[in-house]
């Protein structure tokens, strides 16, 4: 393995016996041929199990439903994409011409899928112990920082409390669109809050669900800005 591949292996803490597995994990379907979709499928399952076990051991008082919600936060696309950026996965992606031109190397969905594929490749190459080690290495900070109490609050409450800590006004929600038949409506809501560059849109099958979705997305934007120092 050469150059950036060696650096990535060092970041992962795993030396591949079969470097072709890592190459395949980093090959998007837009490139054609032997891409990373099968490894992504495998890596998704391995990741879920490793994180489930870590949470089970760390938080003995959480119920099954609570553990599931915390795990969902840790394995969601946004978290995976952030960890993939930290590992410089985008620098190694093999993309088709269209994805290259459209900035696919930094797209959340592609980065998240690639990182899951990398986990799958490590599992195939070195077994469950190796995959557990790599996932634990990349997730160390995320696991140390996870706050179940915050995760388990509904998004509107979490956003409001976050703004109140900063002495900012409570957010406002406005329905901007209702579509569908009366018995099967779909709502779109905008959440406006201090610090947001623009209102954030959320959607759901009820007004409440759309507001919760908008609040969750607004919270992600605000906390990301704060972590970047741009708030």
Q: Active-site residue numbers?
A: 44, 116
Token pair in block for residue 31: 């490139």
Residue 149's beta-bridge partner residues? none
Q: How many CB atoms lie within 10 A of CB 228?
A: 8
Nearest to 116 by CA among 74, 58, 56: 74
Longest dimension (CA), the chain: 60
Task: Tell me how far apart the alpha carbons of residues 137 and 55 are, in angstroms, rounded to a whole number.
Answer: 15
């Amino acid at each position: 393995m050469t150059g950036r591949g060696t650096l990535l292996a060092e970041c992962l803490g795993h030396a591949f016996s079969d470097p072709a597995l890592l190459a395949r994990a980093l090959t998007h379907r837009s490139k054609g041929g032997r891409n990373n979709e099968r490894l992504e499928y495998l890596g998704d399952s391995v990741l879920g199990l490793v994180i489930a076990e870590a949470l089970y051991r760390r938080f003995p008082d959480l119920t099954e439903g609570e553990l599931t919600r915390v795990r969902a936060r840790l394995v969601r696309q946004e978290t995976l994409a952030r960890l993939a950026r930290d590992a410089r996965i985008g620098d190694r992606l093999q993309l088709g011409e269209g994805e290259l031109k459209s900035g696919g190397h930094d797209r959340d969905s592609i980065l998240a899928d690639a990182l899951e594929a990398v986990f799958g490749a490590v599992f195939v190459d070195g077994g469950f112990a190796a995959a557990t080690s790599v996932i634990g290495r990349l997730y160390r900070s995320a696991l140390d920082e996870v706050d179940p109490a915050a995760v388990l609050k509904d998004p509107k409450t979490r956003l409001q409390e976050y703004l109140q800590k900063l002495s900012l006004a409570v957010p406002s929600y406005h329905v901007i669109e209702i579509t569908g038949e009366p018995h099967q409506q779909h709502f779109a809501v905008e959440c406006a809050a201090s610090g947001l560059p623009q209102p954030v849109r959320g959607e759901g099958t009820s007004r409440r669900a759309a507001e919760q979705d908008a609040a969750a997305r607004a919270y992600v934007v605000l906390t990301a800005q704060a972590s970047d120092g741009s708030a």
